[in-house]
Amino acid sequence: MASSSPINQPRSIRWSWQLISVLLVLFTLGPVAHAAADRPGPAIAEQALQALLATQRAASQDCAAPNNTLQNALCTGRLRIGIRTTYKGFGVQAAGELVGFEIDFARHIAKVLGVTPEFVSVTAADRIRKLIDGDIDMILATMAHTPERAEIVSFIRPHYYASPTAVAGLKSRQVSTLDDMALVSICVPLGSYANITFAQADARMLIFDKPQRMFDALRFGACDLVAHDRSLILGEVTGPLAPDDMQAQYEEKFSFNEISWGMAVRHEDADTLGRALALITVSAHGQGVLIDLAKRHGVHAAFLDSQQQLWSDANCLSPDATFMTSCLLEPPNIGDAPSALAPHVNAFQQWLQDHLDIEVQLPMLSGEEGFNLFKRGIAVSIILVISSIAATILFGLLFYQLSRSSLAVVRWLSGAIRILSLNAPLILLLVLAYLIMSGFVIYSAPIAVLTAVLAIGLNNGAPAGEALIAAAKTLDRNPALVDVLNVSMVQVRACVINAAKSSPVGAFIGAPELLSVLTDITSFSGERAVTFTLLAVFYILTVQLVIVASGLVATRLQRSLGSGARHA
Partner 1 sequence: MLENIWLFLDAFTINLRVGSIALLIGLLIGFASALLRARNRSATAKLTGFFVGFLRAFPVYVLMFVAVNLLASLGLFDALTSKQSAEAALVIALSAYTISTCSDAWLAFLQNRDQGQHSQAWLVIPNLIQIYVITVMSSSVGAAIGLQEAVTFTLNLAESLPTRNERLLLVFLVVLFFATIMGLTRWGVKRVSAMVIQAPAKRQMSSTG
Distance CA 90, CA 481 (A): 71
Stretch that binds partner 1, among 7-15, 308-316, 320-328, 500-508 (CB under 8 A): 500-508
**Of how many residues is the chain composed?**
568
Q: Read off the DSSP letter of residue 505.
A: G
Residue 287 in the binding site for partner 1 (CB under 8 A): no
Binding partner 1 (rule: CB under 8 A), the pick from 36, 59, 382, 543 is: 543
Residues 148-187 that bind partner 1 (CB under 8 A): 172-173, 185, 187
Distance CA 555, CA 534 (A): 31
Report in angstroms how near the CB of residue 528 gets to partner 1 at its nearest: 4
**CA atoms within 13 A of residue 211's CA, in its CB half-sphere:** 24
Residue 515 in the binding site for partner 1 (CB under 8 A): yes
What Rg value do the Cα atoms of the chain yield, rounded? 34
Binding partner 1 (rule: CB under 8 A), the pick from 32, 435, 475, 481 is: 435
- The site that binds partner 1 (CB under 8 A) totals a number of residues, namely 55
Distance CA 52, CA 271 (A): 10
Nearer to partner 1, 390 or 422 (CB): 422
Nearer to partner 1, 63 or 435 (CB): 435
Q: SS in 3 state form for 87-156?
A: ECCCEEEECCEEECHHHHHHHHHHHHHCCEEEEEECCCCCHHHHHHCCCCCEECCCCECCHHHHCCCEEC
- CA distances in angstroms from 167 to 146, 162, 225, 412, listed in the order given: 21, 16, 7, 49
The answer to whether 453 and 384 are in contact (CB under 8 A) is yes
Residues 222-251 that bind partner 1 (CB under 8 A): 222-224
Distance CA 340, CA 430 (A): 37
Residue 556 in the binding site for partner 1 (CB under 8 A): no
Binding partner 1 (rule: CB under 8 A), the pick from 188, 214, 259, 471 is: 214
Distance CA 376, CA 389 (A): 20
Nearer to partner 1, 185 or 247 (CB): 185
Residue 505 in the binding site for partner 1 (CB under 8 A): yes
Binding partner 1 (rule: CB under 8 A), the pick from 419, 475, 553, 565 is: 419
Residue 99 in the binding site for partner 1 (CB under 8 A): no
Residue 413 in the binding site for partner 1 (CB under 8 A): no
Residue 258 in the binding site for partner 1 (CB under 8 A): no
Binding site for partner 1 (CB under 8 A): 172-173, 185, 187, 206-209, 213-214, 216-217, 220-224, 419-420, 422-429, 431-432, 435-436, 438-439, 501-505, 507-508, 515, 519, 522, 528-529, 531-533, 535-536, 539-540, 543-544, 547
